[in-house]
Structures are given as structure tokens and as C-alpha cells.
Amino acid sequence: MAARNPRSHPRRTRRSSRRATPLSQRPAVWLATLSTVVGIATGMFTLRDQVFPGEGSTARAVNEGAYRAHIGVICDELDTSERARRRDDRTVARKLEAAGGTMAARDALLHAARRAAARSSHTLAEFAGMQAPRASTGVHRATVVRWRRNVERVLAYVERLDRAPDRKALDAAVDRLSLERPALARDSQRVNEGLERLGADSCDIDPPVVAAEIRLPPAPTPRPSKRPAAKPSAAATAAATAPPTGGAAGPRVNTPGPSNPPATANPRVNTPGPTGPPVGAGEG
């Protein structure tokens, strides 16, 4: 039986031990690399949450105190806007008294309505862009919906005024506003309630001020055309000049002319406010 050549069989145990040596060192390197990656990722997520507080899991961490303080700023802006609206109404009243025609009256109403809509739209955009705490999200969204609905009503009134070419269209625009004032008042009241609930002690909206009513001046009456008076006939002249034939003069039987009914007052043209005091009752 021939002897086995020891070189014909490689020493597998030695090679295995040689390969195991570098593998045993790699886990430590992997752990160090993994720790570095985790640390970088954690830092990136922390930075993102600080820069974009509305994204990720940080929505639950909205500072309620800061949110209420911001609502207080919104309420202060509404009070400022309401004071500006009352000043605009006084200006409108003066311009309507001195208005020389329909277009001058239309322009006075249009300018005041545009200013009110611009102020309210700006404050609404600031409020709608706020990130509310989770517990206040429902009230915040409902308040935005009602506020936006009133702004759209005022913008529609502005459009109708802008398209009014004559007194008939101007009266129609004012009549439509008069019909919408109760809805404006309801949503305005709900907006105030929502803001005061969200802001708590930080929101203190001023009480409403009853303003004097402003109405359009009466439409100019058309002048009657002057026609030459018809000459009375000879028979009519003789009958009018003839003396009575005896007895006391009877009562007049002239056809009575109906008295002119009192003209109904024109609808109010006070500038509508999307927010602030209720514009449909008492405010004028």
C-alpha cells in the first residue's frame, strides 16, 4: 500500500484560520460606521423638525401658549380693521351726500368695500396658515371655513358694484347685500366665538359699536316733458263762465287724485365686514 503524499491534501484548517482573522475585525468597524450614520440621521431629523415644525411627528409638539398668543395678535388685527371700517363708513356717508350722480355713489361704495375685503383677506391668510395644536384643529378649521365664506360674500358684492353701469344695477347690488346681511352676521358671530375659544385669555375682541345707517340718496326723478297746453273749446269756456242756475252750489265731483304713498327707505349701504361685530343686526 503506497504511502500518501502529505502535500496532495491542502491544509484547510490553516486557510480557514487565516480567513477568519480579518472577518473577526470587521464587526467593530461596521458598528462604528453604523453609529456614525445613525448620529447623522438623528441630527438631520432634529434640524428638519426645527425648521419645518408642521412636518413629521412634531405636529403634536405645537406650543399651545405660542399658538394662543398668535391668536391674540389676530384678534387685535380684527379690532384695528373694524375701526378702519367705521372710518370708511363715515367717509362714504359724506361722499354720498355730495355725490353728483350714480357713478360717484357707486365709486364711494366700491372703494370702501374693496378696502374691507383686502384687510379681512390678509388677516384670514395669516390665520389659515397657522399650525394649530391637535386638540384645537377642529375649531380652527371650522373658523377658517366660516371666515372664508364671509370674505367670498363681500368679494361678490365688490364684483356686483364694479359691474353696475347704472342706478338700476346699483340698487340690485345693494338689495342683494341686504339679503345676505343675516348670513354675514351669523358667520361673523361664529368667527368671533371661534377666535375667542382658540385664544382664550389672549383674544379680547372689542364689543360692537352701533353705527348710523347709511342709505343711498333717492334716485333723481325724470323731468316731465313740456308740452303746449291745449286751448279750451268755446263750449267749455261758456260752461265754465256761466253762473249757477239756482240753489246752493253742490259738492265738487272732481276725480280725486290718490296721494303719493310714502317712499320706502332704500337698503342700507354700510360697508359689510366679513368679521367683527354682527353686520346684520343693529350695526347698520
CA–CA separation, 207 and 178 (whole Å): 23
| pLDDT score for 269 | 72
CA–CA separation, 194 and 130 (whole Å): 14
| pLDDT score for 261 | 39
| pLDDT score for 10 | 52
Return averaged pLDDT per consecutive 10 residues of the chain, 284 residues in all: 52 50 55 60 57 48 89 97 94 90 93 96 96 96 97 96 95 94 95 96 90 84 64 60 50 42 58 61 42
pTM comes to 0.63
| pLDDT score for 218 | 84
| pLDDT score for 173 | 95
Q: Going by C-beta distance under 8 Å and a sequence separation of 6 or more, which residues neighbour residue 64?
A: 133, 136
| pLDDT score for 249 | 43
| pLDDT score for 258 | 42
| pLDDT score for 284 | 40
| pLDDT score for 199 | 96
| pLDDT score for 99 | 83
Nearest to 92 by CA among 202, 209, 232, 211: 211
Hey, where are the domains in the chain?
A: 64-202
